Amino acid sequence: MDSNGSYALTLAGIGAVQLLAAMSPGLAFLVITRISVGESRRVALAAAFGVANAALCWAIAATLGVHVLLAEAAWLYGILQLAGGAYLVWLGIEAWRHAGTALAPATSKTLSMSCWRAWRLGFSANLANPKVIAFYGSIFVALFAPETPGWGPASPRSSS
């Protein structure tokens, strides 16, 4: 198979795994849903863009080998887990404190969240989730060949 075919096959595999992952809701889904129900479309898109930006950061980190660093430095991974867990606890407490408030505002005049705040919420929700680095690390390890150049995937059987 030529290198162009290997690119297409590798990228299709990553896309399929991403699609499957998107079908299982998690914290980012809940954050975006909460914002989209209670705020404008523009603000909800800003939150979704924040989630996507955090996913891009984790994907770049996985490509650069951060998952190997986290595997070798278990204490660093533990700190990330504790920080992510603390963030999830804080989100749970906030959800419990505001359980009586309506998700959607009564009128459009009560829309209050800025796009910047929505982006930060989406970004921090996805960045605080150490499962995302494991996700990207595992699909990149499974789908990229050991001799993959830094600029793109290559077929394990390709010859120069």
Q: Are 154 and 3 in contact (CB under 8 A)?
A: yes
Q: pLDDT tens digit string along 82-95?
A: 876 777 677 678 77
- Does residue 154 sit within a domain? no
- Does residue 104 sit within a domain? no
**b/e 72-108 (16+ beta carbons within 10 angstroms → b):** eeeeebeeeeeebeebeeebeeeeeeeeeeeeeeeee
Contacting residues for 71 by C-beta, under 8 A, at least 6 apart: 77
pLDDT at 157: 39
- Does residue 158 sit within a domain? no
In order, the DSSP letters of 12-61 are HHHHHHHHHHHTS--HHHHHHHHHHHHS-HHHHHHHHHHHHHHHHHHHHH
Q: pLDDT tens digit string along 31-66?
A: 888 898 888 999 999 999 999 999 888 888 877 776
- Does residue 65 sit within a domain? yes
Q: Which domain range does residue 132 map to?
A: 3-98+113-143
The model's pTM: 0.63
Q: Are 153 and 10 in contact (CB under 8 A)?
A: yes
- Does residue 9 sit within a domain? yes
- Does residue 107 sit within a domain? no
- Does residue 80 sit within a domain? yes
Tally of domains in the chain: 1
- Does residue 94 sit within a domain? yes
